[in-house]
Amino acid sequence: MTTKIFCDIAELNLIKKFNRKKIVKGFTTNPSLMRKAGAKDYKSYSKKILKICNNKPVSLEVFADEYKEMKKQALQINTWGKNVYVKVPVANSKGIFMGKIIKELNSLNIKLNITAVYSAKQTKKILKLVNKKTKVIISIFAGRAGDTGKDPIPEFKKSIAMVKKFKNIEILWASVREPYNYLQAKQLGCHIITIPPTTIEKIENFGKTFDQLTKETVRAFLVDSKKSNFKINNSAI
């Protein structure tokens, strides 16, 4: 199975650049990336993204924390484009499981990207609520789990096994920390991995030999030492 690469980004110029890359099959965003990119109005900025990426899936996240407003935002975001996946958290900031909104939106045939998932237990709870027709992405945060000393691999293995009977559900490796995560995602059988732009560029350079890497590394050291004008005096010690 091929693991699709999505680009995790919100800067418009970079979206234009990476949308032209064949390796990139879709895009994910979140409120933090939007803010970093300088977005002032969420709707108008999102529509600028969708204008660029009109033929690839784009995940746009709700930013409300309570059920009523979250559902209102989700319904609005869903109308912005046929390629939109409405991104909703598995739980809100109080730790309350968002099962009610997941079930309701799924029953309305709204494509979902359920985010901030960390465990197979959460995946199991989601699967009890969704149908076998409407597309759903479950985003498991590998890097953030690893940052706390927890191994995310067993959670991926169990989650991937659980969704095998669902042709409409995909597991996404989120929170990438290094290019090697892409190979890990492929080995596990993840359907998607979402990756920052700089890491995608590194993945495009996969295939170099260890000898090539040694030469490139030493050359980099040499260039930096020359720029620094380092010298060791010949005076006797």
Given 36, 56, 68, 87, the catalytic residue: 87
Tell me which residue of 111, 28, 100 sits closest to 75, measured CA to CA: 111
pLDDT in tens, 172-223: 999 999 999 999 999 999 999 999 999 999 999 898 899 998 999 999 999 9
Evaluate if residue 235 carries a pLDDT over 90: no
**Cα–Cα dist 45/28, whole Å:** 14
pLDDT in tens, 61-112: 999 999 999 999 999 999 999 999 999 999 999 999 999 999 999 999 999 9
Residue with tokens 């993945």: 203
Q: What is the mean pLDDT of residues 160-179?
A: 97
Which pTM value belongs to this model?
A: 0.91
Confidence of residue 237 (pLDDT cuts 50, 70, 90): low
Cα 184 off chain centre by = 15
For residue 95, what pLDDT is reported? Answer: 97
**Cα–Cα dist 202/161, whole Å:** 30
pLDDT in tens, 127-150: 999 999 999 999 999 999 999 999
Evaluate if residue 234 carries a pLDDT over 80: no
For residue 52, what pLDDT is reported? Answer: 97
Confidence of residue 233 (pLDDT cuts 50, 70, 90): confident
**Cα–Cα dist 90/102, whole Å:** 8
4-207 belongs to which CATH class?
Answer: alpha beta
The reply to whether 231 belongs to the active site is no
Q: What is the mean pLDDT of residues 38-59?
A: 96
Burial of 31 (0-12, 13-18, 19+ CB in 10 A): middle
At 195 the three-state DSSP class reads: strand
For residue 231, what pLDDT is reported? Answer: 86
Query: Quick one: tokens of 175?
Result: 């929170």
The DSSP secondary-structure symbol of 97 reads B
